[in-house]
């Protein structure tokens, strides 16, 4: 069942490629605007790089949240998901996994190229990718709670941002902190471990919270 759900969401994403690409392009363009506007000051660019890339990743992941449940809600598929004999927890987890594969992973894979624009050294680029690989699933997991709570509301997009962005702060601090540490020649391990811990907590609790929110939204 889990495999079917993931496969279904990936197929749907493939047939609506434009949506997925827009998230990625948003990320690329926002990050690229900074070096263009600041100019070739390597030292300054290096010091702002972690923050800029991470804030852009946060905003890009907000873009994909609106789609997570809204389409399934509109055509009634979500009702059917609530009425299956499968635990809703697993269904939510499958949907979040699929959404991360099409929106989070491409961001992480694209980030070294963007990091080069800021003159990041090689080992910082690998820390950047690693921090995004650990951090973007947390963004998707926490975001799913907001998406479920605002289902079917008007102006849901703004409301999701207000609900979810404050919860993203720890991820932002640890993620940007890890890259920052590696630029300054300190070990990034502490920040990455904390990011991993946040991922473990989000993995356990957020699908459960999302399931509860979905049941309320669909009553």
Partner 1 sequence: MLEAINLECIRGDRRLFRNINFALRPGEFLQLTGPNGSGKTSLLRMMSGLLAPAGGDIRWNGANIRSLGEEYSATITYLGHRPAIKEELTALENLRVASALHGTEISDSDARNTLGKMGLDGRESLPVRLLSEGQKRRVALARLVVCNTSLWLLDEVLSALDKTAVSLVVSLIENHLGNGGMAVVATHQDIHLSASSFQRLELAS
Positions that interact with partner 1 (CB under 8 A): 1, 4-5, 8, 11-12, 15-16, 74-77, 79-87, 91, 218-219
Q: CA torsion angle for 190, 131, 145, 18 (degrees, to 10)?
A: 180
Minimal distance, residue 136 CB to partner 1, in Å: 25
Looking at beta carbons only, is 82 or 109 nearer to partner 1?
82
Residue 115: both structure tokens together? 């990091």
Residue 95: both structure tokens together? 């949907």
Minimal distance, residue 166 CB to partner 1, in Å: 31
Looking at beta carbons only, is 206 or 211 nearer to partner 1?
211
Looking at beta carbons only, is 32 or 217 nearer to partner 1?
217
Q: How far is 99 from 84, CA to CA, in rounded Å?
A: 21
Minimal distance, residue 139 CB to partner 1, in Å: 25
- According to DSSP, residue 186 is labeled S
CB 49 within 8 A of CB 115: yes
Looking at beta carbons only, is 41 or 79 nearer to partner 1?
79
Minimal distance, residue 78 CB to partner 1, in Å: 8
CB atoms within 10 A of CB 23: 21
Minimal distance, residue 74 CB to partner 1, in Å: 7
Looking at beta carbons only, is 71 or 126 nearer to partner 1?
71
- What is the full DSSP assignment across 128-148? HHHHHHHHHHHHHHHHHHHHH
């Amino acid at each position: 069942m889990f495999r079917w759900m993931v496969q279904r969401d990936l197929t749907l994403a493939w047939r609506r490629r434009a949506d997925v690409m827009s998230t990625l392009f948003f990320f690329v363009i926002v990050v690229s605007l900074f070096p263009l506007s600041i100019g070739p000051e390597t030292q300054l660019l290096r010091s702002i790089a972690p923050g800029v890339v991470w804030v852009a990743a946060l905003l890009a992941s907000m873009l994909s949240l609106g789609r997570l449940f809204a389409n399934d809600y509109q055509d009634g598929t979500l009702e059917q998901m609530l009425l299956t004999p499968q635990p809703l927890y697993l269904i939510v987890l499958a949907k979040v996994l699929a959404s991360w594969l099409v929106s989070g992973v491409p961001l992480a894979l694209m980030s070294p190229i963007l990091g080069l624009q800021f003159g990041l050294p090689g080992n910082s680029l690998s820390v950047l990718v690693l921090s995004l690989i650990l951090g973007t699933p947390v963004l998707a997991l926490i975001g799913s709670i907001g998406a479920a709570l605002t289902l079917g509301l008007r102006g849901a997009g703004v409301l999701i941002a207000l609900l979810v962005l404050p919860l993203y702060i720890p991820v932002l601090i640890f993620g940007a902190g890890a890259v920052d540490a590696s630029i300054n020649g300190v070990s990034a391990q502490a920040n990455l471990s904390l990011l991993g811990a946040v991922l473990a907590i989000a993995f356990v609790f957020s699908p459960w919270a999302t399931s509860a929110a979905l049941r309320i939204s669909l009553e």
